[in-house]
């Protein structure tokens, strides 16, 4: 028993080099929390402009974290920020970024073909024993893993926005994910000071399976003329202790993301279709390009 416990824990410690694909809202946050803890992280995106945007996200978030951790010590704040950035490399070459990774975390656009294409490509380049993880909000891990020959070393690793602040990570175990891979990702999450929970590969895992129908029902409630969006937000904040009301939160998550989750589940047929029925207000906002905070306009202006 001892030797088994020893071998699994040493396996978990073998994660040292991490490559994160996607330097958007989520990718940048994941890069940041890993680099803060001393992991050697490579951040990959399609072009230098996206990487620069990602570094900007990290920089402004790190300033908040540094101020909190080292209140009145500006020198320590500076050292902490420099230490974190010294652990981050960037690359626009997908293959180069994967060559010596122990763990690859994918946080690119929520599109199954794009993700499968990337994983299929990386499977041929990354070390044979590297673990692959997807930060997908709504796509089946089993389907993504099919693009590779390493379904046993493939899992979901679902972080929450804003990554540096939200304590949860959902570790999603498909039927093929090995216990070793699951264990390594649980340990890795703890090393990032996150609290991991284990979940089966089902639509929305835990949080989104409950959160998305709630956000959609809030929009329907306003469509029915029950209350204004501002009053719904106030009600849920003051009456149910939510840090953000459902409209503020939908804008924060991104209305395109919310719509693509609902559309995907409806088309996939695994979720009660009434829970994810089409909503005109949401479709109209997305087709007008009003995607929430990131575009300056969603349900509310920013």
Cβ atoms 107, 27 nearer than 8 A: yes
45 is in an annotated binding site: yes
Alpha carbons 300 and 302: distance in angstroms, whole number: 7
Q: How many residues does the chain have?
A: 302
Residue 81 or residue 244: which is nearer to ligand CAA going by CB?
A: 244
Alpha carbons 114 and 234: distance in angstroms, whole number: 38
189 contributes a contact to ligand NAD by CB under 6 A:
no
List Cα–Cα distances, 210 to 43, 46, 206, 215, in angstroms: 31, 33, 7, 9
List Cα–Cα distances, 285 to 116, 161, 258, 270, 289, in angstroms: 29, 21, 12, 26, 6
Residue 46 or residue 226: which is nearer to ligand NAD going by CB?
A: 46
237 is in an annotated binding site: no
50 contributes a contact to ligand NAD by CB under 6 A:
yes
Alpha carbons 2 and 18: distance in angstroms, whole number: 28
120 contributes a contact to ligand NAD by CB under 6 A:
no
> Tokens 């909190």 correspond to what residue?
68
The neighbouring-strand residues paired with 40 are 17
Q: What is the 3-state secondary structure (H, E, C) of 103-121?
A: EEEECCCCCHHHHHHHHHH
- Smallest distance, ligand NAD to C-beta of residue 295, A: 11
21 contributes a contact to ligand NAD by CB under 6 A:
yes
Which partner, ligand NAD, ligand CAA, none, binds residue 23 by CB below 5 to 8 Å per kind? ligand NAD
Alpha carbons 302 and 294: distance in angstroms, whole number: 9
In the region spanning residues 59 to 88, those forming contacts with ligand NAD, defined by CB under 6 A, are: none
- Smallest distance, ligand NAD to C-beta of residue 144, A: 10
- Both tokens assigned to 52: 């620069």
67 is in an annotated binding site: no
Which partner, ligand NAD, ligand CAA, none, binds residue 136 by CB below 5 to 8 Å per kind? ligand NAD
Residue 162, preceding peptide bond in cis (omega within 30° of 0): yes
71 is in an annotated binding site: no
Q: Which residues are catalytic?
A: 137, 158, 170, 208
Residue 8 or residue 198: which is nearer to ligand NAD going by CB?
A: 198
- Smallest distance, ligand CAA to C-beta of residue 285, A: 17
Binding site as annotated, residues: 22-27, 45, 61, 68, 110, 115, 137, 161, 294
Interacting residue ranges for ligand NAD, rule: CB under 6 A: 21-27, 44-46, 50, 94, 107-110, 114, 118, 135-137, 160-161, 253-254, 257
Binding site as annotated, residues for NAD(+): 22-27, 45, 110, 115, 137, 161, 294
């Amino acid at each position: 028993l001892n030797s088994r416990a020893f071998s699994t824990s040493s396996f978990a410690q073998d994660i040292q080099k991490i490559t994160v694909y996607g330097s958007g809202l989520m990718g940048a946050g994941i890069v940041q929390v890993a680099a803060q803890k001393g992991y050697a992280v490579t951040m990959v995106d399609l072009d230098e402009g996206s990487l620069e945007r990602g570094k900007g996200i990290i920089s402004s978030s790190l300033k908040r974290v540094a101020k909190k951790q080292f209140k009145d010590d500006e020198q320590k704040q500076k050292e902490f920020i420099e230490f974190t950035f010294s652990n981050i490399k960037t690359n626009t070459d997908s293959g180069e970024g994967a060559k010596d990774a122990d763990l690859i975390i994918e946080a690119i656009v929520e599109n199954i073909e794009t993700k499968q294409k990337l994983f299929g490509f990386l499977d041929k380049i990354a070390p044979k024993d590297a673990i692959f993880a997807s930060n997908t909000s709504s796509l089946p891990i089993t389907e993504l893993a099919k693009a590779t020959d390493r379904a046993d070393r493939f899992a979901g690793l679902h972080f929450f926005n804003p990554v540096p602040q939200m304590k949860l990570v959902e570790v999603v175990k498909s039927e093929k994910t090995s216990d070793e891979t699951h264990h390594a990702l649980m340990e890795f999450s703890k090393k990032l000071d996150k609290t991991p929970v284990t979940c089966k590969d089902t639509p929305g895992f835990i949080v989104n399976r409950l959160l998305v129908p709630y956000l959609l029902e809030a929009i329907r409630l306003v469509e029915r003329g029950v209350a204004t969006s501002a009053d719904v937000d106030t009600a849920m904040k003051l009456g149910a202790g939510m840090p953000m009301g459902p409209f503020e939160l939908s804008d924060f998550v991104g209305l395109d993301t919310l719509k693509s989750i609902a559309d995907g589940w409806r088309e996939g047929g695994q979720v009660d279709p009434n829970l994810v029925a089409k909503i005109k207000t949401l479709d109209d906002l997305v087709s007008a390009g009003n995607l929430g905070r990131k575009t300056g306009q969603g349900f509310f202006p920013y």
